[in-house]
Amino acid sequence: MSERIVRPTSRLLVLDDHDRVLLMRTVAPDSSRSARWITPGGGVDPGETHVEAAVRELREETGQVVTEVGEVVRVDDFEVSWDDADHTHGHAEFFVVRLPHFEVVDDEWTDEERTDILESRWFGLDELTATDEPVEPEDLAEFVRRVLSAGSTA
């Protein structure tokens, strides 16, 4: 793919009332089909803002309905190296959402999500720091630490 194609996404750092972060173990869009833990979220649809996408993605991927997600707390721009990706670059805007602990509801998952999402799990900061499994972004534990230290309640 020689043309630069950017996929805008909204990602959610979902924290429960015990300061655990919700992650989803998903299959990478690559012929390797390797798994990694990521925050809920996904693509911004045409005509949609990042905030609107974050609200929608939270509902679709977890079953949780919110009306707002606060301000952007992080922006990542990156090159995509997956061989099966339909884009060359990503632009991710992160939001923090604090909710009482809940179990993920998959009623609105797409067929693709049912194939690509292997499991969901709440991670405490110590667990996240200690895991040897791949996480994205790679500095996710430090990001969560900073958000918890700042007392973000978006």
Q: CATH number, domain at 105?
A: 3.90.79.10
pTM, two decimals, is: 0.88
Q: For the chain, what is the domain count?
A: 1
Is residue 90, in this structure, part of any structural domain at all? yes
Q: Which domain covers residue 24, as residue numbers?
A: 6-150
Q: What is the pLDDT of residues 38-85, one digit of tens each?
A: 999 999 999 999 999 999 999 999 999 999 999 999 998 877 776 566
3-state helix, strand, coil in the chain (%, to 5): 25, 30, 45
Report the percent of the chain where pLDDT is more than 70: 90
Please state, in angstroms and rounded to a whole number, the distance separating the CA atoms of residues 113 and 110. 5
Q: Domain for residue 1, yes or no?
A: no
Residue 126, beta-bridge partner list? none
124 pLDDT higher than 80? yes
Q: Is residue 144 part of a domain?
A: yes
In a domain, 24, yes or no: yes
- Tokens 């900061």, located at residue: 125
